[in-house]
Structure 1
Amino acid sequence: MNEPVTSETYSAQIRRLAELTARVAAQRAEAHTWYDQQVAAADRAVAEATEQMRQAETEVAEASRMVERVDGEVTHLWTQLRARLGVGARRLGDPPGPVRGAAGDPVPLLRAVRDLLERTGAPGELPGSVNPLLIACGIGGALVAYALGVAARALAAGASGDLAVGLPVLALVVTLLGPVIGLAPARLLADRRHAVLTPRPMILVAVSGLVTTVLLLTVTYTR
């Protein structure tokens, strides 16, 4: 026969059952808390990964735009360099490509190259060493104008009527334009030297042409 369970043993079993139930409930709550934490951490990781992916896509797009901008600027600067060198630019070939392993922002480098091209390509003044050539331009212009005037006067000598009257006047006008005619070859000289025809060389050409014209007219009309 089964022996009756004493009240103390029954109470101990009830307490034991209550303790086990509480422990299971605590472990279940801890498991739920851990699960919720893991889910939250996974959600944060997914959100961070998504944000990083968006940032990476933005950086890739910006890098692509930068590459296109740099390539376009390099092509433009290379074209300017070829234009500066003229015939010697045939040896340059195509624009250089990117250097492997190069780092840093290319924009300041391109800006420095652009400034250098602007400084080297900007036309300057003619040096003093070309003054003899400028004087020769003035004298040559005066001689050409004087020769045209002589030809016009020679035609007037054999003409009659209005031509006999108008050609000497035309000859004088052409002769007086001698100092100005010399500016045309002076301009060509400045262009060949990639310089600007400033007032100083213009005055030099005009004065030399004017002096030559005055001397020629003096000799002509005092003979």
Structure 2
Amino acid sequence: MNAPVSSETYHAQIRRLAELTARVAAQRAEAHTWYDQQVAAADRAVAEAAEQVRRAEAEAAEARRMVDRVDGEVTHLWTQVRARLGVGARRLGDPPGPARDAAGDPVRLLRGVRELLERTGTRGELPGSTNPLLVGCGIGGALAAYALGSAVRALAAGANADLAAGLPVLALVVTLLGPVVGLGPARLLADRRHAVLTPRPMIVVAATGLATTVLLLTVTYTR
């Protein structure tokens, strides 16, 4: 038979059991606390990762929009360059792609290119160095009109009475158009120089043509 356990030993075992139970409860509570902390930390990490993914997707979408905008602007500017160059633009080919070592804001760079094209595309006035050519246009226009008028007068010599009366008047009208005929070649000259035919070159052409026409008529009718 088992020997009886004294009351002191029994109470000591009860106390030890209570201590062990309390220790296990504390360790269990500590384990639950640690678990809850780990779960909360994991949730925060997942939330932060999700926010980073959201920001990255937004940045990627913005980058794609920027790329599309830059590509569209490059194509537009390249089209303008080809239009300015005319026939020689076929050698340019397609618009250039992005450079690997490019730096800076592409929008600012494209704005600079656009402003440069606008400055180069603005037509100015013909320089003073073209005055001899403008004088030549005026003289040439007057001579051409006078030659046409002379041909009409020559036709009047062999025409019937009605035409013989009207053709000299027509010849005079054609001759008097000499001062403005030279404006046509002057316009072509301005277009080739990418300039505007302003009043100054028009006056040069018209004055030269008028002087030439007056001189020709004076010579003609004083013979």
**TM-score (ref. length: structure 1):** 0.88
Mapped partners of 1:11, 1:4: distance in 2? 10
Name the counterpart of 2:3: 2
What is the Cα deviation at residue 206 of structure 1? 0.7
Larger displacement relative to structure 2 (43-52 or 125-134): 43-52
Deviations 1:115-161 (A, max 9, x none): 22222232221111110010110111111111111222222232234
Name the counterpart of 2:179: 179
What is the Cα deviation at residue 87 of structure 1? 4.3
Name the counterpart of 2:25: 25
**Unmatched segments (≥5 aa) in structure 2:** none
Name the counterpart of 2:15: 15
Mapped partners of 1:192, 1:129: distance in 2? 14
Letter of the structure 2 residue corresponding to residue 205 of structure 1: V
**TM-score (ref. length: structure 2):** 0.88
Name the counterpart of 2:49: 49
Mapped partners of 1:26, 1:201: distance in 2? 104
Are residue 76 (structure 1) and residue 44 (structure 2) matched?
A: no
Deviations 1:75-125 (A, max 9, x none): 332232233334444443332222224343211111112222222232221
Mapped partners of 1:188, 1:49: distance in 2? 68
Are residue 61 (structure 1) and residue 61 (structure 2) matched?
A: yes
Root mean square deviation of aligned Cα: 2.1
What is the Cα deviation at residue 20 of structure 1? 2.5
**Unmatched segments (≥5 aa) in structure 1:** none
SS, match of residue 156 in structure 2: helix
User: How do residues 95-134 of structure 1 correspond to structure 2 at under 5 angstroms?
Assistant: 95-134=95-134
Letter of the structure 1 residue corresponding to residue 23 of structure 2: R
Report % sequence identity: 83
SS, match of residue 95 in structure 1: coil
Letter of the structure 2 residue corresponding to residue 30 of structure 1: E
Mapped partners of 2:169, 2:16: distance in 1? 140
Larger displacement relative to structure 2 (132-141 or 96-105): 96-105
Mapped partners of 1:12, 1:18: distance in 2? 10
Letter of the structure 2 residue corresponding to residue 2 of structure 1: A
Larger displacement relative to structure 2 (81-90 or 212-221): 81-90
Mapped partners of 1:142, 1:42: distance in 2? 94
Are residue 167 (structure 1) and residue 167 (structure 2) matched?
A: yes
* Alpha-carbon spacing, 1:26–1:4, altered in 2? closer, same or farther (3 Å): closer
Name the counterpart of 1:38: 38
